[in-house]
Amino acid sequence: MTTALTPVDEGTWADATWPLGAHIEPSTGTTTFAVASPRATWVTLEFFAAAREVDAELSVPLARGTDGVWRARIAGARHGTLYGFRVWGENWPHEEGWTPGSTVGWLADRDEQLNHFNPNKVLFDPYAREVTHNPMSVGPHRAWFGSGPVDVDGRPGRTIDTARIAPKGVVIEDATPYGRHPRHPEEDNAIYEAHVKNLTMHPSSARLGDLLAGVPGFEGLPNVPDELRGTYAGAARMAPYLTALGVTVIELLPVHETDSDQVGAFAGTTNHWGYQTLAFFAPNRDYAYDKSLGGPTREFKEMVRAFHDAGLEVFLDVVYNHSAEGGNWGGDLDAAGFTTLGGFATTEYYALTAEGGLIDGATGTSNQMNFSSDITCQLVLDSLAHWHGTMGVDGFRFDLAPVLGRRPLDAEAEDWEAQRRFFPEHPLLRDARTWAEENHVEVIAEAWDLWGYEVGNFPSGWGEWNGRFRDAMRGYLKGDGNTDDFMAFFNGDWLHFNDSGGPQKSINFVTAHDGFTMFDLVSYNVKDNGQAYPFGPSDGGSDNNISWDSGGDQALRRTRWRNFWLTTFLARGVPMIVSGDEYGRTQNGNNNPWSLNTVGIWNNWAQAGSNAPTQVPVDPDQPDLPGYHDVVGQTAAAEGVNPLLQFARYVAQLRAAQATFRQRGWGDVTIGGEDVSYVYFGTSLDDPPRPGDRQVAVAIDAGQTPGDDFWILVNMFGESATFDLAEWQENHAVREHDWHRIIDTAPWAEAEGNCWPMEDALHVTGEYTVEPWSIVVLQARPTAPDDEPQSLWGRRGGVQVDRSGRPYVRGFLDRILPRLRRDTASTRVDTGREEVR
């Protein structure tokens, strides 16, 4: 540390109101520090010349304000300054004779309110903009973080000073621009979920541009420099690829500084997904190529700018429901391993049992956060504001979001039924929604946890991952005949989202980072998580996958993959897919690789450039590794062309080009109305869809909107189905539109890409036979100029047509409309389906 650090204006500290964290004030040449610890009796701020192996160079007592915040103003604390805190409380009063590692003043390991104050444990700032390292990186010394009576190297953990190993906060001053927020209308979005490291860590990313050079639409992509693989800078190089694919948002798995410890004794097993947050304001240093102080911040913002410049929004998966701090050690409630939050205010930040034990009931991962606390709620709001306003992020997906809507202090600690209660109008959920609307930010809930299923129950304005859509599509597209579910969720789930702000609040997905990949969904009946490196082993994962291995038929698997991709993008709502699904990525049946940072799990871009993607090597430099299961097989495409990727791009860009699929309302389910309506038929106009039907026609009527009309012909049966198009046209007595087949997911069409531009699309009249397990999309275009333009459904070109609809439509609505009443139940509906063989 080359600059002298000097406390200034000490007399003003107690009455100050400057914000939490460390903030440089250029006008005064000083830096303000503030940390919340309302039950502490003494707090010191310490400065360090290095992250490890040195003692503090300066220790400054802070002043407590009436708001329970401790503050100081320091001259000379410039960018890159390292700092930490020591905290005393009623259980350990501050005495002059105390020195690091001593027990002077110690009375107990917890105060009467159950806070763990221990001045021998140096804590990093909960609001630190960067953190020097994570606690697990200190190797065998990690046990030193344990407090209380727990035995560590032959002495009580409370006596071990951690200054030489503890993570330190970093003062950050950075003006790197992150570009302009694209601010897409929500309904226009298509979300691509990705892991920063997985996206480009595979050696194939260094040949990305070369691999896809001959693939139409993907020409001219950059190769990722080897040294940037697996970093923010590497991810930035993927912006042109994502734009070419047709998505509008990249949603990154957690990037907050995390606890990336080794899990077990298996090579490549770490806390890889990052759902163990240590610092809610700091970017994960491990994902940065530039790991210097300030490097991760700068590199993250440069990545955001690259995405913004390409017209892509950036969403973050954020984990505010629990933290990665060490919990109670060995079952001893006096023992804990706090390095930040819990050492400042255990009872403020964490939900506790009556005896003060940390709980994991709703999260399954311990250290469940306490959202009865104003301090904890403010931490979340301030973190969101930082990542949006300072780092450039456009939206947030909240992991296990119901935890943020619970108030543990409103009930007795051991009244678990009351503890599970979810409050839809919780102040934090309401304030986050209001802040998001004011700042054009999207907030999306994973609306379930181990204590409840709250899809559709979040406040209006919140988006939600729609797990019911996932289950309905998985079931229907494997032949379960859950027809009403398919129709309701393909139409945007009015039942659960009618008071949420529109169908764009339903995030529609069939796969995500949790669970099977999209191709594994059609290739496996059960998970296989215990396999050898590099596809395992890992633990956990659902046993209710609603999957089917397609009888081992590779061509059928590819057909069913196309069905899943198509329905995800053409259903009302916002589609979300997981990285690699677009080219058939497999995890060999592992449905929970949370701990696997391995070459088998990383995105292999050689698959994207192959007509037999699961026949490429996992890693050409390691020929002895277990290979991919050949679930995709040899496709009918030319060598070097992955037909799955081509199909994925066509469908994504079809949605982007057609306003019909991007609506903020549900329509009136009336043929020929003013807006877009999804109306359902059987195989002919007079054939209403019935429960158990596995052949359904979806008429998407654009009404008076700028979009086109479409027919989607769905056959989820093992035999062909003929749909009577002539009867549809005759019954409506119009000929404004010619119908053109633009998509057929059946195996016969794979050599032609399963999709056609309009100029090459087949003009369909009379009837159309849909192959088994296939979906066909017809698009309407005006008839030849010598025909008078008329609407298939209503008034266009001066022709008035009966809009009353067929008699059966009323019967269908009588059955479906009762499902459109607001459902306030909080329990999850079992949507498991019997597998079809």
Distance CA 764, CA 740 (A): 6
Alpha helices (runs of H) in 641-791, residue ranges in sequence order: 643-657, 725-732
Among 235, 254, 260, residue whose Cα is nearest residue 320: 254
Tokens of 822: 């607001």
Q: Could you say which of 111, 446, 471, 493 is catalytic? A: 446
Judge whether 542 and 515 are in contact, CB under 8 Å: yes
What is the DSSP secondary structure assignment for residue 709, as one 8-state letter? P
Distance CA 661, CA 564 (A): 16
Judge whether 579 and 198 are in contact, CB under 8 Å: yes
Judge whether 53 and 164 are in contact, CB under 8 Å: yes
| CA distances (Å), origin 206, targets 194, 267, 642, 660 | 18, 24, 19, 39
Q: Residue 292 CA to chain centroid, in angstroms?
A: 28
Distance CA 269, CA 131 (A): 23
3-state secondary structure of 731: helix
Cα angle 726, 663, 498; round to 5? 105
Tokens of 425: 């109008």
Distance CA 373, CA 369 (A): 9
Judge whether 441 and 395 are in contact, CB under 8 Å: yes
Instruction: Tell me, yes or no, if 549 is annotated catalytic.
Output: no
Write the single-letter amino acid at 102.
S
Write the single-letter amino acid at 527.
K
Distance CA 347, CA 338 (A): 13
Tell which phi-psi region holds residue 630, choosing left (phi > 0), alpha (psi between -120 and 50) or beta.
beta
Instruction: Tell me, yes or no, if 446 is annotated catalytic.
Output: yes
Q: From start to end of 616-736, where are the E strands?
A: 677-681, 695-701, 710-715, 721-724
Cβ-based neighbours of 346, under 8 Å, separated by 6 or more: 110, 114, 115, 116, 336, 338, 352, 356
Q: Is 739 exposed, middle or buried (0-12, 13-18, 19+ CB in 10 A)?
A: buried
**Residue 577, strand partner residues:** 192
Handedness of CA 528, 532, 533, 536 (dihedral sign): positive
Handedness of CA 512, 776, 504, 812 (dihedral sign): negative
Tokens of 652: 């994504």
Largest Cα span, the chain: 100
Tokens 């109306």 belong to which residue? 679
| CA distances (Å), origin 718, targets 556, 570, 586, 715, 836 | 11, 23, 25, 8, 10
Distance CA 813, CA 793 (A): 18
Distance CA 823, CA 439 (A): 30
Tokens of 598: 């391995």
Judge whether 805 and 813 are in contact, CB under 8 Å: no
Q: Could you say which of 187, 399, 520, 750 is catalytic? A: 399
What is the DSSP secondary structure assignment for residue 287, as one 8-state letter? G
Tokens of 740: 């053109």
Distance CA 169, CA 433 (A): 30
Tokens of 199: 């996206």
Distance CA 204, CA 599 (A): 10
Length of the chain, in residues: 837
Residues designated catalytic? 399, 446
